[in-house]
C-alpha cells in the first residue's frame, strides 16, 4: 500500500461532509485544491480569492463544476461558516483573529501531521534558506534519502502525494507557515529574530510569536523532539527563556558563541578560534574555525553549527553515521546559494558580490563585515516601515566606503546620515552600477546588500539580483 493511500484514507474520514474553504488561490491554493480533488468522499469546496476572475478561468480549464467561487465583495466575510479553512501563507494572520483557530489549517499543518516525525523544520528571520540547503546537502552526502521542501524547495503538499515512508525532509519555513502550526517537526530550528515583515503583523512581538510557534507546536513524543535555537540573538534568547518555563519537557540545544550561552544548554559553539561541543558540562574541541570554507561570513559559520546538532540527533536515532570531521569537510565544500553573498566575479579590477537576499539592516551589516577591502555598498528598496536610524549611524562610521542609495529606503538612509561625502542617491540599478564602476577603487569589492525588500521595483529579490549581475556585465563591456 502506497504511503499516500494511508494519508488519503485519514483525510477522507476527516473531511467527509465538511465545507472546506481554500483561502487564497495562488500556487499553494491550487495544489491544495488538487489534493482535495483526490479524496473519494463527499465534501464541499469553496474558493476565496481577491482575483475571482483568475479562479473562474482556472476552474473552467479544469472543467470542474463542483468548487464554488466566493464573490470578491464577500472576501474575508463569513469565515466562521466553514468547517475547515486552508489559509494561504501570504495572508496576514491578524486578518483572521476573529476566526475559531481550530478551523484554520494549512499545507504546513498537514505536512507536519503526517510527515513531521521525519522532518527538520528551519525558520528564522535570516539564514534559513542557506542553512536548510546546507543540512540537506550534508544528509544527502551521508546517504540519507533527503528532500528539501518549503519556500526554497519542493512544495510541501506534493511531498504528501509522493512520500515513500522513508524520506527525511528539510523544511524551510517562513513565519507565515509557522504562525498557526499546531503539530511540529521532530527537529525544530529557529536561527534568529529581527524586525522583518512588519507590514504583515500588528507588531514586532506578533511576528516573533509566529516564529516561536514552531517550538510550541506539539508532537506525539515531546521527549524525542530536539529544539535548536541561536543563543547570540538576544531577542530569541529572551523568548526561549520564557518559553521553556511553560514547555519544560522539550530537549533544548543551542549554537553560537559560547559566551552567549546564558542558559548553559548543550550544543556547538565558537570559543576563541575553535568549534567546541558542550554536553553535560563536558567541553570537547571539534575543529579550529580556519578550515577552508566557500561560505563567506562569520554568520554563515555560526549557522552551520546546527549541522553538528542535527547529525548527532540522527546518529543517535540510527539514521546516519557521520563523524564531526566529515561534517566540517562538508560545511567547507558547500557553495551556498545564489543572491546570498554570491561572488559574481571580477570585472575591470573590481570584485562584485550579489547579496540581494539581505532585506534587513542586520543582514547587510553581516555582509559588510564578511568582505575584505570593500569599496562600495549599494543599498535600498521597498519601505516596510523598519527603523533605519541605527543602520544610518553604523554607516556614518564608514567614511571611506562609497554608499550608493536606491529608492526608497536607500534615500531614507541617506537623509538620516550625517556624513554623506561618498554617498550617492540614484534612481535605479543601472545608475547604481554605473557609479560603482566609477567610484570603486581597483582591487576593492562592490556589494549589493539592500537592507530592504525588492517590491518597489522588482517582483522578488531574485529578479533584483539578476538585474544587478546583468548591469555589471553590461557596464564592464562598456568600460572596455
Intervals of the chain under pLDDT 50 = 1
- Residue 63: its pLDDT value, please? 81
Global confidence as pTM: 0.90
**pLDDT tens digits for 77-124?**
999 999 999 998 888 889 998 999 999 999 999 999 999 999 999 999
Give residue limits of the domains in the chain.
Answer: 18-105, 108-333, 342-479
pLDDT value of residue 196: 79
The confidence score (pLDDT) of residue 126 equals 93
Fold of 342-479: 3.90.190
As a CATH number, domain 108-333 is 3.40.1190.10
Grid coordinates representing 205?
Answer: 512581538
Return the bridge partners of 21, or none. Answer: 46, 85
pLDDT of residue 416: 97
pLDDT of residue 1: 45
- Domain 18-105, second-level architecture: 3-Layer(aba) Sandwich (3.40)
Amino acid at each position: 500500500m502506497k504511503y499516500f493511500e494511508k494519508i488519503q484514507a485519514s483525510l477522507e474520514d476527516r473531511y467527509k461532509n465538511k465545507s472546506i474553504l481554500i483561502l487564497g488561490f495562488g500556487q499553494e491554493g491550487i495544489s491544495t485544491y488538487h489534493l482535495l480533488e483526490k479524496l473519494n468522499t463527499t465534501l464541499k469546496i469553496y474558493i476565496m480569492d481577491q482575483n475571482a476572475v483568475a479562479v473562474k478561468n482556472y476552474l473552467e480549464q479544469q472543467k470542474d463544476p463542483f468548487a464554488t467561487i466566493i464573490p470578491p465583495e464577500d472576501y474575508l466575510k463569513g469565515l466562521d461558516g466553514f468547517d475547515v479553512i486552508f489559509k494561504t501563507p501570504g495572508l496576514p494572520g491578524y486578518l483572521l483573529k476573529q476566526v475559531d483557530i481550530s478551523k484554520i489549517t494549512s499545507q504546513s499543518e498537514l505536512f507536519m501531521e503526517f510527515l513531521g516525525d521525519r522532518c527538520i523544520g528551519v525558520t528564522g528571520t535570516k539564514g534559513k534558506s542557506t542553512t536548510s540547503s546546507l543540512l540537506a546537502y550534508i544528509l544527502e552526502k551521508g546517504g540519507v534519502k533527503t528532500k528539501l521542501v518549503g519556500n526554497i524547495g519542493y512544495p510541501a503538499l506534493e511531498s504528501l502525494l509522493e512520500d515513500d515512508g522513508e524520506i527525511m525532509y528539510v523544511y524551510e519555513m517562513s513565519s507565515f507557515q509557522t504562525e498557526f502550526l499546531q503539530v511540529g517537526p521532530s527537529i525544530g530550528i529557529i536561527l534568529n529574530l529581527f524586525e522583518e515583515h512588519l507590514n504583515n503583523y500588528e507588531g514586532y512581538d506578533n511576528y516573533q510569536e509566529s516564529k516561536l510557534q514552531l517550538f510550541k507546536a506539539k508532537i506525539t513524543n515531546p521527549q524525542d523532539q530536539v529544539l535548536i535555537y541561536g543563543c547570540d540573538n538576544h531577542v530569541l534568547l529572551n523568548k526561549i527563556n520564557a518559553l521553556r518555563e511553560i514547555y519544560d519537557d522539550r530537549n533544548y540545544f543551542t549554537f553560537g558563541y559560547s559566551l552567549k550561552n546564558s542558559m548553559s544548554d548543550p550544543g556547538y559553539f565558537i570559543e576563541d578560534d575553535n568549534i567546541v561541543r558542550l554536553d553535560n558540562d563536558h567541553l570537547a574541541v571539534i575543529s579550529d574555525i580556519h578550515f577552508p570554507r566557500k561560505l563567506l561570513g562569520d554568520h554563515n559559520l555560526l549557522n552551520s553549527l546546527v549541522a553538528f546538532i542535527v547529525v548527532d540527533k540522527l546518529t543517535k536515532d540510527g539514521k546516519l553515521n557521520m563523524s564531526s570531521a566529515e561534517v566540517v569537510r562538508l560545511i567547507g565544500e558547500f557553495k551556498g546559494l545564489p543572491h546570498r553573498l554570491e561572488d559574481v566575479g571580477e570585472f575591470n579590477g573590481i570584485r562584485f558580490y550579489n547579496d540581494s537576499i539581505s532585506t534587513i539592516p542586520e543582514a547587510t551589516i553581516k555582509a559588510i563585515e564578511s568582505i575584505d577591502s570593500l569599496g562600495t555598498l549599494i543599498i535600498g528598496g521597498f519601505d516596510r516601515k523598519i527603523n533605519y536610524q541605527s543602520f544610518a549611524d553604523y554607516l556614518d562610521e564608514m567614511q571611506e566606503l562609497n554608499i550608493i542609495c536606491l529608492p526608497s529606503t536607500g534615500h531614507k538612509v541617506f537623509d538620516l546620515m550625517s556624513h554623506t561625502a561618498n554617498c550617492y542617491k540614484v534612481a535605479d540599478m543601472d545608475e547604481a552600477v554605473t557609479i560603482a564602476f566609477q567610484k570603486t577603487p581597483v582591487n576593492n569589492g562592490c556589494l549589493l546588500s539592500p537592507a530592504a525588500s525588492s517590491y518597489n521595483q522588482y517582483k522578488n529579490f531574485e529578479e533584483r539580483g539578476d538585474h544587478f549581475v546583468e548591469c555589471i556585465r553590461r557596464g564592464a563591456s562598456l568600460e572596455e
